[in-house]
Every structure is written in structure tokens, then in C-alpha cells.
Chain A
Amino acid sequence: EDQVTQSPEALRLQEGESSSLNCSYTVSGLRGLFWYRQDPGKGPEFLFTLYSAGEEKEKERLKATLTKKESFLHITAPKPEDSATYLCAVGGGSTLGRLYFGRGTQLTVWP
């Protein structure tokens, strides 16, 4: 059973072309939704935590939002250095020790 589904799997944007990545989740009793950035061959780099519906967080060109069923990562005027895989993970349900990760969205921004 998939707790986290991310879409699209891959996204190509021209520099400056804003877009959004989606993360839908099915875990009950959400205790945190996390966004990470992962560069090839590297570990996930923490970006944001969202705890409740309606919450928003921003960092440079990135803005994360949360509803009761999904989260969006909005990328405004992206640059080539924003190219990476963006991972969504959730904590909650009957377990406390683990996060459930989605497969990620591979973002490529070309100049």
C-alpha cells in the first residue's frame, strides 16, 4: 500500500518557468510532511516540514503548501541549479520511528 505518491515523475522546465510538484498521501494521523532535495549520488537534503493543513513554508524560490490529502512544492522562476530530485516523505499512522518516502520528481531546469 503506497502511503506517498508523487507526480509528475519527471519535469523539464525552462529557466524562469514556474511550476508545481505534487505529493499525495494516505497516512492517517499525519505528524509531519517533509520535502527533501536529492542530488545524484547524494543523501536527501532537508528542505521543509509541514504539520497541518493550511500551513505554508518558503525558502528562496521554493514554497511548500499542505492540504488534508496532498502537498505542493511550488517553484518560482527556477534556475538550472534547482535541478534535482525532490522527495516527499510523511510521518504518522501507527508507527513513530519511520518516514514513508515517495519515488520523487526529477526536475530538470534548462537555460
Chain B
Amino acid sequence: EPEVTQTPSHQVTQMGQEVILRCVPISNHLYFYWYRQILGQKVEFLVSFYNNEISEKSEIFDDQFSVERPDGSNFTLKIRSTKLEDSAMYFCASSERLAGGGGELFFGEGSRLTVL
């Protein structure tokens, strides 16, 4: 069964360092997303991406964050200068149709980011 894969599963970094989280979405999906979940809290939307550009981003997704699809299979989230409050589980997801338009999201297992 097709699945979304994410690497690394866990990353520990020092405050101020750059982090890149990687994802391989399901191959025939067109829409890609990053969500995050701070321990014990809701799953929160960060950004959606379609046709090589951001289609929507949340207020959390500030200038410290960027996304890229460097080739035909990978989708990355970069955090330029990590802060303590960036510590969370980051989930990549993909869908055939746009999420808010009724498309079903399929999530990866997550990358746990710990900022010290």
C-alpha cells in the first residue's frame, strides 16, 4: 500500500541551527502539506504546496520556514534558525485533491524535532 515516508524520525538540534525535514509523498498525489503537533496539543496546519508553489500557509509559517520540492519525489521543510518553541512532531501529508476541498490527506509517521 502506498505511503508517505519521512526522514529523519528524530532530530535533536541546538537553538539557532538550520534543520531540513524530508518527505516522500505518495507518487500520484498532487498536493503536499506540512503539519505539526506540539506534545499534547492539536495537529496544526503549516503549509500546503501545489504545482511547485505554496498554495496556502498559516500564521505559524513565518520567514524562518520554507518548503521545496527539489526533484520529482522529495518534499522538504526547512527551518532556518530553530527556536525552542519549534520542538514538535512534524508531519508531512499528501492528497490527490486539495484538503479544504474535500481531499483526503495521508500522513507520514512524523519527524520529531527537539531543539535544545
Q: Please tell me if A103 contacts chain B, counting CB pairs below 8 Å.
A: yes
**B interface footprint on A27-41 (CB within 8 Å = 1, 0 otherwise):** 000011010100001
Taking a contact as CB atoms closer than 8 A, the residue among B4, B56, B89, B91 that contacts A97 in the complex is: B56
Given contacts A95-B56, A98-B58, contact A31 B100 (CB under 8 A): yes
Chain B residues with CB below 8 A from A101, complex form:
42-44
Chain A residues with CB below 8 A from B19, complex form:
none
Min distance, Cβ B62 to any Cβ of chain A, angstroms: 16
**A interface footprint on B54-67 (CB within 8 Å = 1, 0 otherwise):** 01101000000000
Given contacts A44-B43, A45-B107, A98-B45, contact A91 B58 (CB under 8 A): no
Asked if A87 contacts B43 (CB within 8 A), the reply is: yes
B56 to chain A: closest residue by CB: A97
B92 to chain A: closest residue by CB: A43
Chain B residues with CB below 8 A from A104, complex form:
42
Asked if B41 contacts A96 (CB within 8 A), the reply is: no
Asked if B102 contacts A31 (CB within 8 A), the reply is: yes
Count of B interface residues, CB-CB < 8 Å:
29
CA–CA, A91 and B45, complex, Å: 11
Given contacts A43-B108, A43-B110, A45-B107, contact A96 B91 (CB under 8 A): no
Count of A interface residues, CB-CB < 8 Å:
27
Q: Please tell me if A59 contacts chain B, counting CB pairs below 8 Å.
A: no
Q: Please tell me if B87 contacts chain A, counting CB pairs below 8 Å.
A: no
Given contacts A43-B110, A103-B42, contact A95 B105 (CB under 8 A): no
Q: Please tell me if A110 contacts chain B, counting CB pairs below 8 Å.
A: no
Q: Please tell me if A65 contacts chain B, counting CB pairs below 8 Å.
A: no
Chain B residues with CB below 8 A from A41, complex form:
89, 110, 112
Taking a contact as CB atoms closer than 8 A, the residue among B98, B102, B109 that contacts A42 in the complex is: B109
Given contacts A43-B91, A44-B43, A87-B43, contact A99 B100 (CB under 8 A): yes
| Residues in chain A within 8 A of chain B (CB atoms) | 31-32, 34, 36, 41-46, 49, 51, 87, 89, 91-93, 95-104
| Residues in chain B within 8 A of chain A (CB atoms) | 4, 31, 33, 41-45, 47-48, 55-56, 58, 89, 91, 98-110, 112
